[in-house]
Amino acid sequence: MWITRKYEETLKALFAQFPAVVISGARQVGKTALVRHVFPDINYLSLDFPALAAQAEHNPEGFFREHGFPLIIDEAQYAPPLFRYLKAMVDADRRPGRLILTGSQVFPLMQGISESLAGRCGVLTVMNLATAELRSFQDGGMFHEGDFLFKGGYPELHAQAGLSPQFWYGAYLATYLERDVRNILNVGSIRDFDRFLRAVAARTGQILSYSDLARDVGIAPNTAKKWISVLQTSGQVLLLEPYFRNIGKRLVKSPKLYLCDTGLAAFLMGFESWQAVERHPAVGALWETHVVMEVVKSFAARGKGIPLWFWRTAWGAEVDLLIERDGRFMAIECKYAEVVGESETKGLKAFADDYGRESLRASYIASHATRSYPVSGEITAIPGSEIADYLG
């Protein structure tokens, strides 16, 4: 059963404007399903098949002559020489709508593009389901916020009723370790990397300290940096950079770490039900992760850059998320509570005092509330799962 994705119109627009479109993203977020649903009549090939990958790698001209255009090539990163041939092919014929490339291992795919197809293709990064997509699929009445946070946003978990998140994430983790980590990076110990993943999950929504992370896992700080890079390039984590401007105050300049999926984070933390999550102190970090990723997904679905930061002073005043538009900010604080009060506004007010109220477009507290309501001055509490509706 098809879950309508917000990416569909963006994909159509890119295909109408560029000779080639590149679709990247983590495994199992629905890239292939999206492309085949939007373009059901275009010839589809997957380089997961070794014979096709070998043909594309060793004889790209014969490969395209045999299969023709338009063409969808899945897992394109398995034939790197293909990109060099595509550069000459696209330069010779700039007509739009000829080729769609997809890939899960983002680093080798994007490296091939940057070297061969820069300026010649449209790029779309697909992420897992947003709450709006799932609400539409479930017709509004069946959506449960806690269930979504615990299950996460991988489409298969919602399209197949009764599928166990524990079994699914166990298989996903094994596949990810075997297929992606071994291909991208020569990890000496898969067990070390598994412990590393669990330590990363426990830090979602926190300032990233490579030295602390490395110490807890028992690896070198440089190894921790390298492995975080692998998680970034394969679409598993987001590093949110701090916003700072020299105004005479000490500001935190390390990034914040987020897993891109709350379900995967909950699995790696060892939770077996939403009730267990809700009773645990980690619920606040998972809620913040959920809200931040809802914003990221909204920008990604529109094919836009992500002008996002967080802000934190050395003495603890913080705004979880800053969204910049035309030189002004939407400031968002995340609180897992149905009712928020004056005490939750301190970070938002500190930012407004430091940078001036004229620098703010809006100030929100993304809460567990079911409706929006004023909190203090121009600060409004809004339902966190509906944050995308407020982005404009």
Q: What is the pLDDT of residues 242-292, one digit of tens each?
A: 987 655 556 678 899 999 999 999 999 999 999 999 999 999 999 999 999
State the pairing for strand pair 20-24/121-125.
Answer: parallel
- Position with higher pLDDT, 247 vs 36: 36
- 370-386 per-position pLDDT tens digit: 899 999 888 999 999 99
Per-residue pLDDT, averaged over 9-36, amounts to 93
Q: By the 8 A CB rule, do 169 and 27 touch?
A: no
Walk me through the domains of the chain, giving residue ranges and CATH numbers.
8-125 (3.40.50.300), 131-230+255-286 (no CATH)
Residue for token digits 């709350």?
Answer: 262
Residue 231 is encoded by which pair of tokens? 């998680």
Joined tokens for residue 367: 């809460």
pLDDT at 113 over 70: no
Q: Which residues contact 203 (CB under 8 A, 6 or more apart)?
A: 213, 257
Indicate left, alpha or beta for 382 from its phi (over 0: left) and psi (-120 to 50: alpha).
Answer: beta
Digit-coded pLDDT (tens) for 129-157:
999 998 887 665 566 788 899 999 999 99
Per the CB < 8 A criterion, the answer to whether 314 and 299 are in contact is: no
| Res 118: pLDDT | 67
Q: What is the pTM of this model?
A: 0.92
Q: Give me the mean pLDDT over the 38-52 stretch.
A: 94
Which range, 124-138, 204-218, 234-248, is most confident? 204-218
Residue 112: the pLDDT is: 63
Query: Distance between CA atoms of 153 and 43, rounded to whole angstroms?
Result: 28
Please give the residue that has the higher pLDDT: either 187 or 239: 239
For residue 242, say if its preceding peptide bond is cis, omega within 30 degrees of 0.
Answer: no
State both tokens at 311: 């802000």
Q: How confident is the model at residue 81 (pLDDT cuts 50, 70, 90)?
A: confident
CA distance 270 to 117: 42
Is pLDDT of 41 > 90? yes
The tens digit of pLDDT for each residue in 296-335 reads: 999 999 988 778 999 998 778 899 999 988 888 999 999 9
Mean pLDDT of the chain: 88
- Strands (DSSP E) along 172-215, which ranges? 206-207
Tokens of 318: 């913080």
Block residue for tokens 């779309």: 124
Taking each continuous run of H as one helix and of E as one strand, the counts in the chain are 18, 14
- Can you give the pLDDT at residue 92? 85
pLDDT at 233: 81
pLDDT (0 to 100) of residue 326? 82
